[in-house]
Amino acid sequence: MNIKCMVVDDEPIARDMLETYIGRIPELTLVKSCMNAAEAYDVLHEYAVDLIFLDIQMPVISGTEFLRSLRKPPLVVFTTAYSKYAVEGFELNSVDYLLKPIVFERFYQAVQKVMDRLSGYVPAHAETQEPPDYIFMKQGIRLIRVNHSDINYVQAERDFCSVYLDDKRLLVSFHLKMLEDLLPQNIFFRVHRSYIVNLKKIQALKGNIIELNNQEIPIGANYRELLFKKLHL
């Protein structure tokens, strides 16, 4: 078994310790060690990850907030210095909850639980947790929480995307494909190689044009048939 894992912890000493422990277990492969949720989002967009060793108390976005924001989260082992978060951690279906300072024997027990879960793996969060109705978007060095219902459409801008809300535009550090994967597909649909629209915001269709919040969005030829099926037209 080869388990691709990542570490997310804002403390360098804690990251070093976990990296050392991971290196002792042949079944674990460290994909990346991250100091905050923003870095972790980037890794998850680029690599397949089976397991996250996730700190809870981190600046800007906590470990539990980060986990709740993921549509298809990997397995998680929480690592923290505070036992008071244990109940919340297990409510999020974490595989285990490790209290710092973590000894190797306890770490190895957690990895054994992960192996047991993966040997008959069913996504732990799928049946027990409602999907989030928001997304954290990276804007510069900040992660901004945006409710799905506030998004009208998204437009590709080279290596960035413009996210158009009712009252403003956000330029975020995501490729369009990343947002297509992260946004719920029952609400958002890619209608053009450069556009994703919120289906609930469509006001009218005119030929190959979508009228949406006083904007006209083109419909790409390759997307037209699927869009019309999505709209039951």
Chain segment 164-217, per-residue pLDDT in tens: 998 899 998 777 887 887 788 889 999 999 999 999 999 999 989 999 988 899
Structural domain includes residue 125: no
What whole-number distance in Å separates Cα of residue 10 and Cα of residue 228? 46
Shared-domain flag, residues 8 and 115: yes
Same domain for 7 and 109, yes or no, is yes
What secondary structure does DSSP assign to 157-210, as a single string?
ETTEEEEEESS-EEEES--HHHHHHHS-TTTEEEEETTEEEEGGG--EEETTEE
Task: Quickly tell me which residue has 């009252």 as its tokens.
Answer: 167
Cβ(76)–Cβ(52) below 8 Å: yes
Full domain range(s) for residue 85: 3-119
**pTM listed for this prediction:** 0.57
How many domains, the chain?
2
- Copy the structure tokens of residue 83: 């036992």
Q: Which of 119, 152, 182 is the last residue of a domain?
A: 119
What is the model's pLDDT at position 163? 94
71-92 pLDDT, tens digit per residue, is: 888 999 999 886 665 556 556 7
Task: Tell me the pLDDT tens digit for each residue of 97-127.
Answer: 888 889 898 999 899 889 888 886 554 444 4
Give me the helices (H) in 50-103, please.
Answer: 63-69, 86-91
